[in-house]
Amino acid sequence: MPEQAGLPARKAALAIVSGVLRSKQPLDMQLDVLRGLEARDARFARALASQTLRHLGILEAVIRDFVPKPPAAHKAGPTNEILLLGACELLILDVAPHAAVDAANFLAGGNGDSMHFKPLINAVLRRVAREGEAMVAELDLARLSVPDWLWQRWTQSYGEAVSRRTAIAQQMPPPLDIVLKNGESVYPESEPLFGAVRRIRDAGGIERLDGFAEGDWWVQDVAATLPARLFGNVEGRRVIDLCAAPGGKTMQLAAAGANVTAVDKDGARLERVRENLARTRLSAQLHLGDAREVKMLAPLVLIDAPCTATGTIRRHPDLPWIKGAADVTMAVNKAYEILENGAELVAADGMLVFTVCSLEREEGPEQIAAFLDSHPEFSRVPVTPEEVYGHHEWITEAGDLRTMPFHLAERGGMDGFYAARLHRGR
């Protein structure tokens, strides 16, 4: 490997990881740094950044053994992030030691602060190369993969055993699930999951896959397809889809023959819904507006509420490190306002499905419990195993949907989702 090969990719990865850890910026919002890179470098940069964040707690534990007191960021620049990236290359991506260590030294040399810490970086990463694998084998990987604020919440809600299974499942990069538009859809090599959902293990560039350009399918995790199924047969019926972007549920309902009104307050995200509908040749009415304020009426209302998304960490490994317990409270308050208004949009004898991709109890079951306490006109309609492909383990004692990241583990796992179905009386 030439001395500086792969350096542009590593610089991009360093920018992303620094943005996440220092500025709390989501990884997905920083992908502009990949523009201009060759395709191979862009893939490596994204993999390096994602895997560093996915295994952050473990990598920090290894480095901490060699550097108990990390150098202050205001003096050392990106030294700590360079160490994390180098350790990830060595322990996770299995990059040759000389290549990983040399690359880290090049990165450090390009910064006026971190260049003074090159001897430390060099020494630490050489020790990681020699001793790191044995150290990792002795670590509590499940516990280290989850920050304290989230671990405490999960163990209180689910117990330690389930929390450990969840943590391990969230460390695995997710496969790609696609939903076929109809029985004549063209699709890439994949395995069938349930209904119209198929799973791809190694997707590569999505736009190049068979059937994408033709609009024969869209991307949607299998767990995300379950809430819309709770309406039953929607053919010819009107459905309001609140917080609809990026449009997976809208397309799912439209493909089933529903008359869908997709509502979202973000114009750019709503435009993505429009583009996805155009590509798949499906139709829906689009409404730009705040779900807390929109006024309309329909027999069926779907609320995919804003949340902390802790059920999707395997897709967003940066999430645990940019959020905290205060974000749960903020999400709960906003979602409840949407739930209150969404309930007003449900016609008499209609149905409301409320869903979040969060594992936090306050954002799911406690939200619904509070709503039902103050809205006697609504009652819970329990989910049946037949409605979720026979998986009774996805149904809570109260009758709500609750998927966990370790469900379907033998087939690649799934996102963590919660959904409750409520009926409005006449």
Please, what are the domains in the chain? 7-139 (1.10.940.10), 222-424 (3.40.50.150)
Q: Torsion-angle region of residue 297: left (phi > 0), alpha (psi -120 to 50) or beta?
A: beta
Query: Mean pLDDT over residues 411-416, rounded?
Result: 96
pLDDT at 355: 98
The mean pLDDT value of the chain amounts to: 95
Position 2 confidence tier, pLDDT thresholds 50, 70, 90: very low
Query: Mean pLDDT over residues 256-283, rounded?
Result: 96
pLDDT at 372: 98
25-34, 64-73, 383-392: the lowest-pLDDT one: 64-73
pLDDT at 412: 94
Indicate if the pLDDT at residue 411 is higher than 80. Answer: yes
pLDDT at 364: 97
Residues 148-198 pLDDT 10s: 999 999 999 999 999 999 999 999 989 999 999 998 999 999 999 999 999
Indicate if the pLDDT at residue 377 is higher than 60. Answer: yes
Query: Mean pLDDT over residues 197-215, rounded?
Result: 90
pLDDT at 4: 62
pLDDT at 3: 42
Position 1 confidence tier, pLDDT thresholds 50, 70, 90: very low
